[in-house]
Amino acid sequence: VQEQGQHYLVMEYVEGGSLREVLEKEGSLPAQRAVEIALDLADALTRAHRLGILHRDLKPENVLLAADGTPRLADFGLAHVATSSRLTQTGILMGTLDYVSPEACQGEGGDERADIWSFGVLLFELLAGCLPFRGDSFMARLNAILTLPVPDLSALAPGVPDGLADLVYRMLEKDRC
């Protein structure tokens, strides 16, 4: 919206808090609830990607929950529009490290697959109650993202169906090809 030469962003008021707050309270979510949230987020990401928009900072803090529990993808502050001039330089890390794809960690330009990686980290966290790649320092977390295999989701969250665990593993594939 533009008013008197000023641009304003108008958003829906979402009163249910963030997905981070739910995780802090509950630790993890039952697989069915995680899938319900994931389906709505996948729809939102698909719509953004069709418009040429990369979110680049998908994480529980940026998923708001409406009063009925449905998620809203928020905070497009780091988003990149594929058709616009370059908003950031290649080689600069954008986003929250724990959710950044391996190629972005290496300073490579990202595409929709980087958002899918972040989505996979978020889904892993919803199901297991912890991040898949951890470390005590920035460099340790960076090394984990770049080199370590995805932890066994079935061991961390025994009730997760095999097909869902397989989906998460595919989303967190380190080789983009």
* Residues identified as active-site: 57
Q: Which two tokens stand for residue 122?
A: 């978020």
| 114 alpha carbon, distance to own chain's centre | 9
Half-sphere CA count of 9, side-chain side, radius 13 A: 6
Give the E-state strand segments of 29-101 in sequence order: 53-54, 63-65, 71-73, 80-81
Whether the CB-CB separation of 153 and 169 falls below 8 Å is answered with yes
Give the E-state strand segments of 31-123 in sequence order: 53-54, 63-65, 71-73, 80-81
